[in-house]
Structures are given as C-alpha cells and as structure tokens.
Structure 1
Amino acid sequence: MALPLLKYAPTTQNSRVAPLRVGSDEDPKAASMDKAMDREDQNFVIEAAYRQIFFHAFKVDRDRTLESQLRDGQLTVRDFIRSLCLSDTFTRSFYNLNSNYKVARHLVEKLLGRQTYGKSEEIAWSAVLMTRGVKGMVDDILDSEEYLNAFGYDTVPYHRNRVVGSREVGETPFNITSPRYDAYYRGILGFPQIVFTGQARTLPERASQRRGGFPQDYLPWVRSLPALRSAPVLGNASMDYLSKVPYRSVGR
C-alpha cells in the first residue's frame, strides 16, 4: 500500500530567505538549456547535470542516447535529471549501498537544492521510498511545486543560496555533507588518505658525507674487542619450583 507524503513542519533555513547582497563567487550558477546558444553551451548543461547527480560521471556512466535527445529538444532537463536518478549507475553505486534515510536526504539535497527540514522530512520521504521505491520519490520531487518554482523544466538543480548573511563561511556543499562512505566505513578503509602530488626534495650530495661521530664508523672496532666474560644466566625452565614451596603438614 502506497503511503501519502507525511506532513512535516518546514524550518527557517537559508534556502527559504531571498538573498539581498552583492554577487560573489558563492552565488548559485544556474545552467539552463533554454539559454544554450550552441553545442558548447549544451555540453556545459549536460556536464552540470552529471555533476549534480553523480558528482563525477565516468565514460561508462554516460548515456549518449539521452544526451542526444536532450540536445534535439526531445527531452527536457527535468526528464534528463529523472533518467539519471533512475539509472543503473545511481542504483548500483548509491541506492544499494545506503539506508533509506541517507538516500532520501541525498535526493532532497540534489533535486531541491536545499537541506532537509530536520528528521521529520527524512522520515516522510523514507516512507515514500519504502513503499514506492526510488521512482516514486523522484517523481514526487520533480512534480512538486517547490521544484517547478525553483528550477522549472530546463534548469539543472543547484545548491540554492549557499551564503549565510551572519557567517563568513557559507553552507557546506552537498557532495561533502553526503559522501559515498560514512565515517564508520571511512575508518575501515583508512580514509582520508593524504596523497602527495608535489615534487620530492632530495638531500644534496654533501649531506651524505661523514664528518665523524657516526656510530657506523666504530662498528668494526667494537667487533674486534674480546667478549666480556660473565656468569651464565639461568632460565626459569631449570628452576625447581616444588623445592621452593614451604612444606606444611596438616596436623600443625
């Protein structure tokens, strides 16, 4: 039985406040197909869609048929986003590896461009995900009034209003707040790992020259010394423990 979307109380969040500020680098950058004038602009919109859903799409994850239909106007950007969320790549690499709560939070962040309104909204979308699957949840989000008012049919969803007025640092990007592996699995796999990509510095040749005081210089002299004579050390294996225990008769 399919459950309707449970009611949840919206909280006052940054995405619900109209931005009143001078433009900055953290302002949202919309990629819309209706503003694409040539093939290069169309490729930019397609890359933005892949980056929004998959964060990075390898060659095997791309669907050339959908891309061609999007360029020819047979599909809208909303339909293209829907196909990416229902693709085998998303199911295999994210849906099958996470709980319903994390999948619901991830889809809300990716498709609506905002954080979830607390645990209540996660539970509400998790119920939809449990009864109707990913397709039911994706259809409800893409057909919602909030999505259509924010992005319409031809705009790729993006992180809305990342800048917070009273803070120097804005909201954390969604690809960092919802990583593929949780902290538990990152600890098992040894993440994060520091990868050095710079040029290794080598010591100059004069640093390898010995100037006296090295222990290696005195090793042949130490080996030539006669062995020190000392009493043999007896091990515990040769000790008679029974003779060491005091004897006490029963009658005393």
Structure 2
Amino acid sequence: MALPLLKYAPTTQNSRVAALRVGSDEDPKAVSLDKALNREDQNFVIEAAYRQLFFHAFKVDRDRTLESQLRDGQITVRDFIRSLTLSDTFTRSFYNLNSNYRVARHLVEKLLGRPTYGKSEEIAWSAVIMTRGIRGAVDDILNSQEYLDNFGYDTVPYHRNRVVGSRDLGETPFNITTPRYEAYYRGILGFPQIVYTGTARTLPERASQRRGGFPQDYLPWVRTLPALRTRGGTSGNTSIDYLAKVPYRSLGR
C-alpha cells in the first residue's frame, strides 16, 4: 500500500520569493528548449541537463537516443530529465550508493532546484521511495505544482537561489553541499583522493649546502666535552657531593 506524501512545513521562504537583485552573477541561469533556435542551442540545453543531474556526464553515461528524440521534438525537456533520473547511471551511481534520505535530498535539490525543508521533507520523500520506489518519487516530483510552476515542460531545472542585500554570495552549489557519495561509501571507495598532475618543484642545489649554524655540525665537538666523558662505566659527575659544596650562611652573621 502506497503511503501519501507526508506533510512538512517550509523552513525558509527563499525559494518562494523572487530574486531581489538583477544582473548578479548569483542570479539563476534558466536554460529552455523553446529558446533553442539551432542545433548548437539544443546541445547547450542537453549539456545543461546532464550537468544538473550528474554534474559531469562521461561519454558512456550519455543516451544518444534520448538526445535525438529531444532534438526532434518527440519528448520534452521534462521527459528528458525524467529518463536521465531513472537511467542506469543514476541508479548505479546515486541510488545504489546512498540511503533513501540522501536520495530524497538529492532529488529535491536537482529536480526542484532548492534545499530540502529540513529532515521532515527528507522523511516524507524517503517514505515515497520506500513504498513506490525511485520511479514513484521522481514522477511525483515532476508532476508537482512546484516543478511545473518553476520549470514547466521545456526548462532545465536549475538552482533557485535568493540573493539578499546582507549577503555577498548566494547559496552554496548542491554538488558541494551534497556530493555524489555519502561518507560511508566515500570511505569504502577511498575518497577523497588527491591526484597531483603538475610538475613537482625541487629545491635548488644551493639550498642543500650548509652555511653554518646547523646543530649536526657541533655534535663531534659536544662529544669531546668533559661533562659527557664516562669514568669506569659511570658518569663522571655522579660521585660529586653537591650539597657539601653549597656555602653555609648562618643567621647570626
């Protein structure tokens, strides 16, 4: 039995309010197919869809059949987004490697273009995933009034942010706040891995030359000091009565 979507209250009104600043680098960038006049513009729409869902799509992750159908007008951008979300790449790289809570958070961020309204919304969508699977959750999100009001049928979902006067930057991109793998699978896969592809810098030869002042240069001289010599297998200053050598001063003097 499929459970209805649980009620959750918005924790912020940012996604419901239009941006207050115009012409900023933080303003959302909408990519729509109805404005694509040539093949180059259509390719830009397709690339935007791949970046929104996968952040980067390799050649093996691309679906040429779907791309051809989108160019020919057989499917809409909304259908293209749905097929990519239900593709083997998403299932293998996102759904199978994360919990239902994290998948729900990822779907809301990528498809609705906003952060989740706290843990309550993650629980609500994870219940849909638990009862109806990933397909049911994707269908409900794409059929929701929020998605249709903001993106419609021909606009690629994007990060909807609000820039206010008291903040210099907008919200952090979702690929940073919600990486592809959670901490458990990042540990198994050995992430993060630091791969340096540049040229290693080496110190010049003159840097290895000693110019005095190194403690290692004084070790031979320190070993010859009388205080470090041993007599009969024991230290030379162990038989000295230091208390007897302390001068005595009486109170009457």
The alignment's TM-score, normalised by the length of structure 1, stands at 0.79
1:191 offset after TM fit, Å?
4.5
| Counterpart in the other structure of 1:201 | 201
Which residue type is aligned with residue 51 of structure 1? R
Q: Which moved more, 1:190-199 or 1:113-122?
A: 190-199
Q: What residue number does 2:226 align with?
A: none
Moved more, 113-122 or 128-137: 113-122
Judged with a 3 Å threshold, the aligned counterparts in structure 2 of structure 1 residues 231 and 183 are, in CA distance, closer, same or farther, namely farther
One-letter amino acid matched to 1:126 = S
| Aligned equivalent of 2:74 | 74
Partner AA of 1:177 in structure 2: T
Which residue of structure 1 lines up, in the alignment, with residue 149 of structure 2?
A: 149
Provide the TM-score with structure 2 as the length reference: 0.79
CA distances 1:46-90 after superposition (whole Å, capped 9, x unpaired): 011011111111111111100011111111000000000110111
- Contact 2:26/2:169, CA 8 A, preserved across alignment: no
Whole-Å separation in 1 of the counterparts to 2:164 and 2:187: 32
Give the partner amino acid of 1:151. F
1:197-222 residue CA offsets vs partner (Å, 9 max, x unmatched): 55433333333455577759x99xx9
**Structure 1 residue runs of 4+, over 6 Å off?**
228-232
1:100-111 correspondence runs (5 A) = 100-111=100-111
What is the 5 A alignment of 1:173-192?
Answer: 173-186=173-186, 191-192=191-192
In structure 2, do the counterparts of structure 1 residues 187 and 13 end up closer, same or farther at CA, with 3 Å as the change threshold? farther
**Are 1:123 and 2:123 an aligned pair?**
yes
Consecutive unaligned residues of structure 1, counting only runs of 5 or more, are 223-227, 233-252
Aligned twin of 2:32: 32
**Percent identity among equivalent residues?**
85
Partner of 2:62: 62
Q: Which residue of 1 aligns with 2:112?
A: 112
1:239 paired residue number: none
The verdict on how the C-alpha distance between 1:231 and 1:71 changes in structure 2, with shifts beyond 3 A counting, is: farther
The corresponding residue for 2:166 is: 166
Deviation at 1:151, TM superposition (A): 0.4
Unmatched runs of 5 consecutive residues or more in structure 2 = 224-228, 234-253
- The alignment's C-alpha RMSD in Å is 2.7
* SS of structure 2 residue aligned to 1:97: coil
Question: Is the contact made by 2:17 and 2:162 (CA closer than 8 Å) also made in structure 1?
Answer: no
Distance 1:101 1:50 in 2: 23
Deviation at residue 14 of structure 1 after TM alignment = 1.4
Distance 1:128 1:173 in 2: 26
Deviates more, 1:110-119 or 1:193-202: 193-202
Aligned to 2:48: 48
Which residue of structure 2 aligns with residue 12 of structure 1?
12
What is the aligned length? 226
Separation (CA, whole Å) in 2 of partners of 1:82 and 1:20 = 31
